[in-house]
Amino acid sequence: MSSRLTFKYRIYPTKKQTALLESTLSYCTELYNAALQERRDAWRINRESINFAGQSAQLVEIKEVRSELNGIYSQVLQDTLHRVDKTFKAFFQRVKRKTKAGFPRFRSRVRYNSFTYPQLGFSLSGNKLSLSKIGKVKIKLHRETTGKIKTLTIKREAGRWYACLSVEGMAKPLPVSVKSIGVDVGLTAFATLSDGTEVENPRHYRIAQAKLRRAQRKVARRSIRSHRRRKAVQLLQRAHAHVRNQRSDFHHKISQWLVANYGRIAVEDLNIKGLAAGCLAREVNDAGWSAFLEHVAYKAENAGRDLVKVDPRGTSQTCLCGAHTPKTLSQRWHQCLACGLSANRDHVSAQLILFRAGIPPSSVNASH
């Protein structure tokens, strides 16, 4: 079974290469907006739909008029038109599902931050990444890529540049493990396992709030459209990026540990989007449950592990014996009047999650 992974590396372009990268983003933004405008006008004026093939065929004529576009690799320009096409297809799908559609919008230069080499035009050799029309850029390969590189996306993030390599390779199953574990994600502890292990909640955003507030105040004090404001905005972006990277690193380490040690992993099939809209939105977003569960899912699939998502209803209000034991959010201890079970509520929930995944009651131990 094949799998698709993305490896993200920091690149260090020279001043000249940085100017070329910025120029490429600028022209891609212009092409994206022009293609979107053409589709909107064609429908509004003539009730005519334009597809990717029709717009892609115009690139030759456009290059004759705009000779500066010859300095951009052709497939990068084609991928920009593909993005427009995907945006409209997603819009029509939302309309068909009768959800909030959100018509495709124009992109400003500060918000268009990546371009893609979809097939060719790039190569990797040692610590150099060769990009067509740009040159050989220094890259920091902090880990080895595995599999065949299919696409390359160059991304600008908080004033820094990254190469995102999409790699296709065969899945690498881990040695068979008969051990099973239930995982109950929470806010007091990031996760409580059915064996009683608690994973501490690092609360990266809360810890960084003071630094983020200072960076935000610095932006507010700067004059709009000034060079000092752009510099302050970049510092704020980097502060937020640091928090994201900390959270992502934490998720990767915990999910990898679970997949490496357990053959079956049971989790709740939570409506995290709904939970993130409630009174605990900040804490839920800081924990990043959705990203964590996505990491567990793809790592488990790649390693040949069994990930089971169970019904989350009542996992904190039900005892292992099946009795209903209602508790408020502030009550952190489970006390069952029917069977006498007394334990940490998150521990009991994790055991119940494992039970719902098909582990027999005799295999689930709890303290009475």
* pTM score, whole prediction: 0.87
Domain limit, last residue, from 118, 144, 170:
170
Residue 175 located in a structural domain:
no
Going by C-alpha positions, the residue among 123, 117, 51, 113 that lies closest to residue 87 is: 51
Say yes or no: 197 and 145 in one domain.
no
What are the angstrom distances between the C-alpha of 235 and each of 216, 228, 242? 9, 11, 11
* Residue 337 and residue 195 in one domain: yes
* 157, 58: one domain: yes
Residue 154 lies in a domain: yes
Do 45 and 184 fall within a single domain?
A: no
From first to last of the 368 residues of the chain, give the pLDDT tens digit: 678 889 999 999 999 999 999 999 999 999 999 999 999 999 899 888 899 999 999 999 999 999 999 999 999 999 999 999 999 999 999 999 998 889 999 999 889 999 999 989 999 998 999 999 999 999 999 998 888 999 999 999 999 999 999 999 878 889 999 999 999 999 999 999 999 999 999 999 999 999 999 999 999 999 998 999 999 999 999 999 999 999 999 999 999 999 999 999 999 999 998 888 878 899 999 999 999 999 999 999 999 999 999 999 999 999 998 899 999 888 989 999 999 899 999 999 999 999 999 876 444 444 43
Mark whether 33 and 159 lie in a shared domain: yes
Longest dimension (CA), the chain: 81
Containing H/E element for 190?
strand 189-193
Q: Provide the domain count of the chain.
A: 2
Residue type present at position 347: H
Same domain, 153 and 249: no
Question: Given phi > 0 = left and psi -120 to 50 = alpha, else beta, which region is 143?
Answer: beta
- Domain residue limits at 184: 180-204+240-363
Same domain, 152 and 286: no
Residues 137 and 333: their CA atoms lie apart, in Å, by 56
- The token duo for 69 is 């576009």
